[in-house]
Amino acid sequence: MVRKPYIRSLFPRFCVLVMGLVVAATPFVWMFLCSFKTNAEIFSAPITFLPKNPTLRNYKDLLEGRQVPFLRQYFNSVIVSGLFTGVNVFVCSAAAFAFAKYKFPLKNLLFTLVIAFVMVPQQATLVPLFLLMHKLNWLDTIFSVALPGAFNAFGVFFLRQVMLSIPDELIDAARIDGAGELKIYFRIALPLSGAGLVVLGVLSFVNSWNEFLWARIALSSTERLTATVGLASLVGMYKVEYGMLMAGASLLIIPVIILFVIGRDLFVEGILRGAVKG
């Protein structure tokens, strides 16, 4: 039997959590409900939380490409985010494995330099990155938004913390059995770091999925824009399609929710594993 005083002590915490949930969820609920309203109803007075006359017109106009080719741009976002996530996880995990399990000259200095990149703001890299993409003739292609940033200092640091928990004896035993370094990396290091890879993968996907500033600079063709940049074109000088914006934003959060629901257990486990080992 659970004692009543214990239940009473949990009640204030429960109330705080509920209040936090309400504060965090209200903007998303409001966004979703506004996607079923017309522009006139969104700004009607008095403000109505639930739509008086729900309509699917915003979704219909958006998906039919009345103003922007949203489905094409949505597909571009999927391709860019998927490619960015795959490259980022592979590059960061390989670097993290080297820093965690190998000894080489200037190792600590190099790792310090990697961590220092965390403090460099994105705005400081925009001009040199633009010039580099221009030299490579990658501007206005998916490579210009998918490949830059694939080497992530936080990802290297986080996965290094995870891989430090892999026993050195296990790797030594694999070497004695004749396993090469690549086989050890793919057959031992990556499987034992699965939870950490999921965490980095989710964070990388969300970061790429929400990218706006660099994508707005690197991409110019309407057909090659990502969905976040494409939606911004609905904000005109004299008119803003708020209903369609709310519909597009509602569709944009679906992949993020699906990713978190599928990998939430591994996500929490990976966060804990990356925080415990120092």
- What is the rounded (10 degree) CA torsion for 267, 271, 272, 274? 130
Instruction: Give 108-166 pLDDT, tens digit per residue.
Output: 899 999 888 888 888 888 999 999 999 999 999 988 998 887 788 889 988 998 898 88
- The domains of the chain are located at 68-276
Decide if domain 68-276 falls under CATH 1.10.3720.10. Answer: yes
What are the φ/ψ torsions at residue 73 (nearest 5 degrees)?
-70, -35
pTM for the model stands at 0.85
- CA distances to 41, 81, 155, 198, 265 from 195, in Å: 45, 20, 13, 5, 9
Helix axes 70-101, 242-276, angle to 10 degrees: 10
The pLDDT of residue 192 is: 87
Alpha helices, H only, the chain: 4-34, 39-42, 57-63, 70-101, 107-116, 126-135, 142-146, 153-163, 168-176, 181-184, 190-192, 194-209, 213-218, 227-232, 242-276
What is the token pair recorded at 133?
């993409």
CB 132 within 8 A of CB 69: no
What are the φ/ψ torsions at residue 235 (nearest 5 degrees)?
-90, 100
Instruction: Give 156-200 pLDDT, tens digit per residue.
Output: 988 998 898 888 898 989 898 888 889 999 998 998 888 888 888
Beta bridge partners, 240, equal 235
